[in-house]
Structure formats: C-alpha cells, structure tokens
Amino acid sequence: MMNRFKPRLAVWPVDPVLRKLNSLAKLSPDEEALLRAAAEHRERAAPGEEIIGEGQAAQRPRLVVAGWAARQRVLPDGRRQIFSFVLPGDVLGFTARPATASPWSVTALTAFETLDGQSVAEAVAAGRAPGLAVAVAAFEAQGAQLLLDQMVRLGQLTAYERVAHFFLELQRRLQVAGLGDSQRFPLPLTQEMLADALGLSIVHVNRTLQQLRREGLIELRSGVAILLRPDMLSSISDYDSVGAMRLLDASQGVKRPA
C-alpha cells in the first residue's frame, strides 16, 4: 500500500529481500543497511544456466533480487523433478556447513540476478545481526515446509488440486516479497516447467489450466497470473488446513500490524 504507488528511485534492488526477511523477523536499521550495502556486487545468470550444480560444495551466499530459478534433479533418462522455485527475496547458500554437497542443482529459469551475501552471512555468523539470524533460520524452516507441501501435492493431490494449491503458494510467497498483490502475480513459467514441478505431462497441465480458466477461477495473460477466486482455489486444495500456509500467513501477520 505504502510504496506500491511510488516506485520512486527505481526501487532499491534489494527490496524483495528486505521485505521477505522483514516478514520473518523484525530487522534493525543496521541490518537493513547491511542488506542495502550488499547491492554492490551483482551477478547475473541467463535462462538455463546452472547456478549451483548437484553434488557441488556450498557456494558463496547470495541474495536473490530478480528472476526465477528451480531447485531440481534430472534423471538419466531425461525426466526431471523440480523440487521448488527460487524467487526474488529468497536467499541462497546461507546454511552453515560449507563442506556439504548440494542435494540438488539450482538452474536459472529466467534472467536471474543475485547480490553477494558474503558480508551479510559473516555478520550473521559473528552474531552481529540477531534479527537477520532469526529471519534466515525462519526462511530455512519455511523452505522445508514448502518442500513437504510439494511432496503432499505429488503424492496425494489430483492434477486439479495440485495446480490450485501451487498457485496459492506462489501468490503468497510473491506477495510477501512485494511482487504482486493478493490476486495478481508474475508467472514467468512455461507449461513444461509447471509440468516438471507438479509431476504431470505438459498436455495435462495445459488442460487443467484451461479448466481453471473456464471455471473463472484464474486468468493467465502474458506472464501474469490472476487468481479470480482465491477462496475457491483454497477450498479445492485444502490449502489453509495444512502445511506451510501457516508459516506464510504468520509472516504476513508479523508484517501487517506494523
């Protein structure tokens, strides 16, 4: 509400990260400044570029400021499972152990942009940024929850329910990062990517989306998704009853009353 109408200074690039982390724990002015300072070293990746390889040791920590990426695994015969999407506002490589091998590869799906998070990670490790430490820990916990939700989608939900559930999750995650509102959000995914995430064929994703549109529940136009009836989607997929929803809403709870 406050600054959506005034993208004045071309907006700070760190904005999504700032919003996201602030929704997880109150950050001090110092901590916010620390994040803003990170805006120095940018790094870009092109669509299809592998940002972190599977089995590779932990990378330098990063703050995602623009673009989407996928955490995924590709089978020898070409099938691929996308475990989760990396969105603006997310952080990468902040979990301590530097020696551990990544259990998945992270691949850019669109033009992708990150900031160096080294200084931030050091401040957190040194105990100089307690708010950030809490936020990062909460972020990790939320990520774990989202993975379990994804598992429930794959194992128990029908195609129709899966898409509904997934769209609600995206809407909420993106809104927290300051992208999109309670109904509308950017969706730069092809149907193939959706298929690989939801464990469905491209054709069937297409037909399921059509059904949702036909029924007036969603609208898709040029990279933007609109949830016309979030309530319906929610009841279709039982979204509010289980899983990471609680965390995402708790996040908003922290943010809103301010």
Backbone angles phi, psi at 156, to 5 degrees: -125, -30
How many other CB atoms are there within 10 angstroms of residue 197's CB atom? 23
The correct pick among 58, 154, 228, 254 for binding its own copies (CB under 8 A) is 154
- x-or-dash string of contact with DNA, 177-196, rule CB under 7 A: -------------xxx----
226 binds DNA (CB under 7 A): no
How distant is the alpha carbon of residue 34 from its chain centre? 22
Helix (H/G/I), strand (E/B), else coil: 48: coil
210 binds DNA (CB under 7 A): yes
Output 75 or 258, the one with its CB closest to its own copies: 75
Which DSSP symbol is given to 241?
A: G
Question: Using CB distances below 5 to 8 A depending on partner kind, what does residue 254 bind out of DNA, its own copies, none?
Answer: none
Residue pair 131/25 in contact by the 8 Å Cβ criterion: yes
Helix (H/G/I), strand (E/B), else coil: 118: helix
Question: Using CB distances below 5 to 8 A depending on partner kind, what does residue 206 bind out of DNA, its own copies, none?
Answer: DNA
152 binds DNA (CB under 7 A): no
How far apart are the C-alpha atoms of 157 and 237, rounded to whole Å?
8
3 binds its own copies (CB under 8 A): no
Output 123 or 189, the one with its CB closest to DNA: 189
Binding site for DNA (CB under 7 A): 158-160, 190-192, 199-204, 206-210
